[in-house]
Amino acid sequence: LAIGLTLALSAPAFGQKAGKDEARRFFNAGQKAFQAGRYLEAAKAFEEAFRLKPHPFALINAGDAWEKSGDTALAARTYQRALKLEQSGEQDRADATERLAKLTPKLGIIELQGDQSQRARVDQDEFQGGDRVYVTPGEHAVTLVDVDGAKERKVDIAAGASRTVDLSTLKPSSEKEHD
């Protein structure tokens, strides 16, 4: 019984250590890929390290890799996640803010006006009401997620511009009348 209890009590700690070790493995792989100029591979490795053990440094590194891979909108969204992250310290937020400021003039912002419980898709990525979504200049499709008959709104946005989409206007007509 004592051996079983000891094993049961140590299992969560072991799982946490295994997750931390796995996160470190992905982070190291991301650093190697980044140094070799394989930025897409690096970004995915840093994102996986973050998924396993949330830490702002993994997000900031992922943002750098997304930017170097040419996906400036995803880089900006990643820096934005670092800003919102509870574990981010003052220096982490300063780094993310500085990097985001450099990208913002190259991108557009779609403001999703609505309740946080409302989920919306901008192109293929999912967000929620209240989010500011960094996008590349051009046309983007905005629609509600999991709402039958939801309307789609096309938003054409220029670099440095911001557009607001009221998510309630995307609801089907019969659903809007019942709100």
Locate tokens 């509600």: which residue? Answer: 144
pLDDT at 10: 36
d(CA 112, CA 123): 13
97-114 per-residue burial string, b: 16 or more CB within 10 A, e: under 16? eebbeebbeebbbbebeb
Residue 49 near residue 58, CB atoms below 8 Å: yes
Integer Cα distance of 131 and 116 in angstroms? 8
**Side chain identity at residue 2, one-letter code:** A
The pLDDT tens digits along the chain (179 residues) read 333 333 333 334 434 566 788 999 999 999 999 999 999 999 999 999 999 999 999 999 999 999 999 999 999 999 999 999 999 999 999 999 999 999 999 999 999 999 999 999 999 999 999 999 999 999 999 999 988 999 999 999 999 999 999 999 999 886 544 44
Distances (CA, A) of 39 to 11, 36, 136, 162: 36, 8, 19, 28
Give residue 29's pLDDT. 97
Report the 10 Å Cβ neighbour count for 24: 13
